[in-house]
């Protein structure tokens, strides 16, 4: 080298910069006419809060695509029978609210801004337990034992992380804390303390990512948080509708409902999605997409939608680390209230997790609704959902008769959630398996080309929860906004450099 004159160097630099600029600018229209700057795939809490975040930052050129006829996703309520009470088939609680400082919780605070929401803090001490012979067994339940063990589990989690030791399952930590399941009563408590929240047994749950659960420690006084049960007849979805209020454009032009995403075609330059609505195919292209579909949907390319080209190995690996837990909710309405005047009724079955918990909705729903909410999880939930509904009702009535006697009648109305078989969800929410690390969540949310991944599962601290989806939506929108501003500043800088070079050359 050393043979080029300064002027020649400048001309070379100019040409290189010119080429780079032309390439940066010309790569944009390669994708054809863009329908929006950002496509938001899915209108659950994550998608709607992503849209809100973009909107509030002045980015209004987005289009939300949703397969269902309404927004809310896994926040969804329905009448138990025509004209009956409206019950939540998906999320029901705002978890981790401090009653002395409720607005420290983003969702509770949102609810207040949205005109309030009807609900009550659940009192888990308001419970009575029966075994399968109808005997009240409350005195046999070792609540103190499991509470002590739980405290030790949290201690083990903190100590192991501080020491840089490897993660273990919650079950292993429970065993180290001398909690063993030796009776039906123990099995009931074991289910109540873990499966009721995670929808899978502690045998399958990561210690580090579940204990102590950030949901219960991050909002307000960590040792004072409770769960707020929503019974508002406008539904939990009222919160999602409130976030969406005013951002969907004239006649909701920024929202396409009943539109199924079939193929996501991605590249480093843009994203196009092939959609179907009423059997009519239409493609939408944008500079960016935010996908909020559940882990179950991402795992089942054949059933629901697929990527073109296939997602890279690293992305598939993190998607496949998780699974969709199964939390099944049922509601049954009876001619009268024959059960105890408590919030919860525990059923200490001979089979762990068999109709373990009833919630007396009659205490919370509007007057005259003799409704019980029933929860099951995991394999039992799946068996119950897949069989004929009348067989499930039959099993339910047998359990209630074993507790309350042969006078228990058939329910006058019955409804159950179908998230597990619904192709747009394929389960209730993401689990917290052994082996996940902070990096897993970072990789799960990381973009592939111009597709950003969002939704409840991508929330490092609150995966599985509504507020996890809320923060995930906000964070992915912010990541897209950052990428847009970097793109804009790269082009702007290149142009600036070009002008400087031209100026130097000319004078
Ligand atoms: C039974 C149950 C109980 C729960 N209880 C609680 C609770 O008490 N408290 C709590 O905090 N959390 C609870 N959760 C979890 C909470 O509901 C979820 O974490 C949260 O609502 C997920 O929001 P999201 O936006 O990430 O996903 P989603 O709500 O699943 O939104 C994704 C959207 O994408 C759409 N979609 C999927 N595929 C396609 C496609 N191909 N084309 C177009 N659209 C598509 C779906 O229809 C959906 O609307 C519960 C969940 C369930 C199922
Ligand atoms: C639930 O809350 C409402 C209103 O705050 C209150 O009137 C009602 O008594 C509460 N119900 C229970 C069972 O605590
Ligand atoms: C568990 O039991 C063992 C043996 O009795 C005892 O040494 C240990 O301290 C106990 N651990 C806890 C956390 O109670
Ligand atoms: C627990 O994990 C194992 C192995 O991953 C799996 O086979 C099993 O189905 C899981 N059990 C439940 C109840 O989720
Ligand atoms: C936090 O809550 C606990 C339990 O209710 C209480 O004992 C403690 O005083 C509270 N701490 C603060 C700082 O309010
Ligand atoms: C919005 O819908 C109303 C009623 O259907 C219609 O009259 C109006 O023209 C629509 N506005 C736009 C901008 O499409
Ligand atoms: C359940 O039973 C009712 C009445 O016995 C009957 O009308 C209904 O068709 C049955 N439902 C199913 C899914 O079999
Ligand atoms: C069943 O109902 C009848 C009539 O109401 C009543 O006499 C009887 O005591 C009830 N039986 C039980 C087990 O509650
Ligand atoms: C993982 O992230 C949480 C907060 O999101 C943090 O408290 C924790 O220290 C992190 N763990 C590691 C090993 O970095």
**Mean pLDDT value across residues 34-52:** 98
Flag whether 496 is in a domain: yes
**Mean pLDDT value across residues 330-335:** 98
My answer on whether 157 and 212 are in the same domain is yes
User: Residue 7: its pLDDT value, please?
Assistant: 59
Q: Is 402's pLDDT higher than 70?
A: yes
My answer on whether 305 and 379 are in the same domain is no
My answer on whether 97 and 134 are in the same domain is yes
Q: Is 184's pLDDT higher than 80?
A: yes
**Torsion-angle region of residue 215: left (phi > 0), alpha (psi -120 to 50) or beta?**
alpha
Residue 62 near residue 51 (C-beta atoms within 8 A): yes
pLDDT band per the 50, 70, 90 thresholds, residue 213: confident
Strands (DSSP E) along 10-166, which ranges? 36-41, 62-65, 77-79, 86-88, 93-97, 119-121, 127-131
Residue 181 near residue 201 (C-beta atoms within 8 A): no
pLDDT (tens digit, 9 = 90+) per residue, 222-256? 999 999 999 999 999 999 999 999 999 999 999 99
Q: Which ligand is nearest to the CA of 321?
A: 4
**Mean pLDDT value across residues 336-349:** 98
Residue where a domain terminates, one of 361, 387, 416: 416
Q: Which ligand is nearest to the CA of 335?
A: 8
Flag whether 272 is in a domain: yes
- Beta-carbon contacts of 342 under 8 Å, excluding residues fewer than 6 positions away, are 126, 127, 128, 360
Instruction: Choose between 497 and 346: higher pLDDT.
Output: 346
Q: Is 29's pLDDT higher than 50?
A: no
CA distance to 120, 355, 381, 446, per residue, from 192 (Å): 20, 11, 15, 35
Total domain count, the chain: 2
**Mean pLDDT value across residues 95-107:** 98
User: Residue 13: its pLDDT value, please?
Assistant: 63
CATH code: domain of residue 15: 3.50.50.60
Q: Is 321's pLDDT higher than 90?
A: yes
Task: For the chain, give the mean pLDDT.
Answer: 93
Q: How far is the CA of 119 from the centre of ligand 2 (A)?
A: 7
pLDDT (tens digit, 9 = 90+) per residue, 171-182? 999 999 999 999
Helix 6-26 crosses helix 466-506 at what angle (to 10 degrees)?
A: 150
My answer on whether 317 and 447 are in the same domain is yes
User: Residue 434: its pLDDT value, please?
Assistant: 95
My answer on whether 385 and 470 are in the same domain is no
Q: Is 490's pLDDT higher than 90?
A: no
My answer on whether 357 and 282 are in the same domain is no
To the question of whether residue 261 is assigned a binding role by annotation, the answer is: yes
My answer on whether 228 and 240 are in the same domain is no
Query: Where is mean pLDDT largest: 362-376, 444-458, 476-490?
Result: 444-458
Q: Is 25's pLDDT higher than 60?
A: no
Q: Is 338's pLDDT higher than 50?
A: yes
My answer on whether 229 and 150 are in the same domain is yes
Q: How far is the CA of 339 from the centre of ligand 8 (A)?
A: 14
User: Residue 2: its pLDDT value, please?
Assistant: 43
pLDDT (tens digit, 9 = 90+) per residue, 409-457? 999 999 999 999 999 999 999 999 999 999 999 999 999 999 999 999 9
My answer on whether 381 and 445 are in the same domain is no
Flag whether 84 is in a domain: no
My answer on whether 211 and 122 are in the same domain is yes
The boundaries of the domain holding residue 153 are 93-235+327-416
Please tell me the distance from the alpha carbon of residue 440 to that of residue 455, in angstroms, as a whole number. 14
Q: Which ligand is nearest to the CA of 407?
A: 8
Flag whether 147 is in a domain: yes
Tokens (6 digits) for 274: 């092939």
Q: How far is the CA of 334 from the centre of ligand 2 (A)?
A: 22
Flag whether 79 is in a domain: no
Residue 311 near residue 448 (C-beta atoms within 8 A): yes
Q: Whose CA is nearest to atom 1 of ligand 8?
A: 407
Q: Which ligand is nearest to the CA of 151?
A: 3
- Beta-carbon contacts of 450 under 8 Å, excluding residues fewer than 6 positions away, are 266, 267, 268, 269, 270, 271, 287, 288, 289, 483
Show the DSSP H helices in 133-236 as ranges.
143-162, 170-176, 184-190, 196-198, 214-217
Residue 306 near residue 264 (C-beta atoms within 8 A): yes
Of the candidates 280, 236, 287, 249, the one whose C-alpha atom is nearest the C-alpha of residue 40 is 287
Residue 154 near residue 209 (C-beta atoms within 8 A): no
Q: Is 363 in the pocket of ligand 2 (CB under 6 A)?
A: yes
**Mean pLDDT value across residues 125-148:** 97
CATH code: domain of residue 389: 3.90.660.10
- Beta-carbon contacts of 377 under 8 Å, excluding residues fewer than 6 positions away, are 191, 195, 196, 199, 200, 325, 326, 327, 328, 353
Question: If residue 468 lies in a helix (H) or strand (E), which one and from where to where?
Answer: helix 466-506
**Mean pLDDT value across residues 309-317:** 97
Residue where a domain terminates, one of 416, 440, 469: 416
Task: Provide the 8-state DSSP code for 20.
Answer: H
pLDDT band per the 50, 70, 90 thresholds, residue 26: very low
Percent of the chain with pLDDT over 70: 94
To the question of whether residue 66 is assigned a binding role by annotation, the answer is: yes
Q: Whose CA is nearest to atom 11 of ligand 3?
A: 177
Q: Which atom of ligand 3 is nearest to the CA of 177?
A: 13
Instruction: Choose between 160 and 24: higher pLDDT.
Output: 160
Residue where a domain terminates, one of 368, 388, 416: 416
Q: Which atom of ligand 3 is nearest to the CA of 149?
A: 13
Q: Is 438 in the pocket of ligand 9 (CB under 6 A)?
A: yes
SS3 call for 22: helix
To the question of whether residue 30 is assigned a binding role by annotation, the answer is: no
Flag whether 78 is in a domain: no
Please tell me the distance from the alpha carbon of residue 74 to that of residue 91, in angstroms, as a whole number. 7
Q: How far is the CA of 464 from the centre of ligand 9 (A)?
A: 18
Q: Which atom of ligand 2 is nearest to the CA of 231?
A: 1
Of the candidates 84, 121, 76, 126, the one whose C-alpha atom is nearest the C-alpha of residue 358 is 126
**Tokens 């950002």 map to which residue?**
38
Q: Which atom of ligand 6 is nearest to the CA of 251?
A: 1
Q: Whose CA is nearest to atom 20 of ligand 1?
A: 466
β-pair partners for 327: 377
Instruction: Choose between 218 and 21: higher pLDDT.
Output: 218
Question: If you compute the radius of gyration of the chain from its CA atoms, what whole number of angstroms results?
Answer: 27
Q: Is 458's pLDDT higher than 60?
A: yes
Q: Is 86's pLDDT higher than 60?
A: yes
Flag whether 271 is in a domain: yes
Q: Is 396's pLDDT higher than 80?
A: yes
My answer on whether 198 and 148 are in the same domain is yes
Task: Provide the 8-state DSSP code for 129.
Answer: E
My answer on whether 231 and 241 are in the same domain is no
Instruction: Choose between 24 and 302: higher pLDDT.
Output: 302
User: Residue 1: its pLDDT value, please?
Assistant: 40
Q: Which atom of ligand 7 is nearest to the CA of 393?
A: 1
pLDDT band per the 50, 70, 90 thresholds, residue 28: very low
Flag whether 86 is in a domain: no
**Mean pLDDT value across residues 37-62:** 98
Percent of the chain with pLDDT over 90: 87
């Amino acid at each position: 080298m050393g043979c080029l004159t300064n002027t020649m160097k400048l001309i070379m630099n100019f040409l290189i910069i010119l080429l780079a600029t032309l390439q940066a600018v010309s790569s944009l229209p390669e994708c054809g006419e863009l329908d929006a700057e950002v496509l938001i795939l899915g209108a659950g809490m994550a998608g709607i809060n992503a849209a809100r975040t973009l909107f509030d930052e002045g980015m209004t050129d987005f289009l939300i695509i949703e397969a269902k006829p309404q927004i809310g996703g896994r926040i969804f309520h329905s009448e138990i029978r025509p004209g009956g009470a409206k019950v939540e088939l998906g999320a029901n609680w705002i978890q981790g609210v401090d009653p002395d400082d409720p607005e420290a919780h983003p969702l509770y605070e949102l609810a207040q801004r949205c005109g309030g929401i009807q609900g009550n803090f659940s009192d888990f001490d308001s419970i009575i337990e029966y075994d399968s012979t109808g005997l009240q067994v409350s005195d046999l339940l070792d609540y103190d034992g499991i509470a002590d063990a739980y405290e030790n589990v949290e201690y083990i989690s903190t100590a192991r992380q501080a020491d840089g030791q490897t993660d273990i399952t919650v079950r292993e930590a429970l065993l180290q804390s001398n909690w063993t399941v030796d009776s039906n009563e123990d099995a009931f408590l074991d289910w109540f303390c873990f499966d009721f929240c995670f929808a899978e047994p502690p045998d399958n749950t990561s210690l580090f990512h579940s204990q102590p659960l950030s949901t219960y420690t991050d909002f307000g006084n960590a040792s004072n948080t409770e769960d707020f049960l929503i019974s508002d007849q406008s539904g939990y979805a009222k919160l999602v509708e409130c976030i969406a209020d005013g951002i969907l454009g004239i006649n909701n032009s920024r929202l396409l409902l009943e539109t199924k995403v079939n193929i996501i075609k991605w590249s480093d330059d843009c994203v196009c999605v092939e959609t179907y609505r009423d059997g009519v195919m239409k493609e939408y292209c944008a500079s960016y997409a935010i996908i909020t579909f559940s882990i179950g949907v991402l795992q089942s390319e054949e059933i629901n939608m697929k990527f073109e080209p296939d997602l890279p190995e690293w992305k598939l690996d993190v998607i496949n680390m998780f699974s969709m837990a199964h939390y099944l909710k049922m509601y049954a309405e009876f001619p009268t209230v024959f059960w105890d005047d408590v919030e919860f009724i525990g059923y200490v079955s001979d089979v762990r997790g068999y109709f373990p918990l009833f919630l007396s909705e009659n205490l919370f729903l509007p007057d005259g609704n003799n409704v019980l909410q029933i929860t099951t999880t995991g394999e039992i939930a799946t068996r119950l959902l897949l069989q004929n509904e009348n067989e499930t009702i039959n099993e339910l009535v047998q359990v209630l008769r074993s507790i309350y006697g042969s006078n228990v009648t058939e329910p006058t109305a019955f409804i159950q959630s179908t998230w597990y078989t619904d192709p747009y969800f394929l389960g209730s929410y993401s689990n917290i398996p052994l082996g996940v690390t902070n990096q897993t969540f970072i990789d799960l949310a990381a973009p592939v080309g111009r597709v950003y991944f969002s939704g409840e599962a991508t929330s490092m601290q609150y995966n599985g929860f509504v507020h996890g989806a809320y923060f995930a939506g906000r964070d992915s929108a912010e990541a897209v906004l950052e990428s847009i501003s970097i793109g804009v500043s790269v082009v702007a800088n290149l142009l600036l450099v070009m002008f400087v070079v031209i100026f130097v050359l000319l004078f």
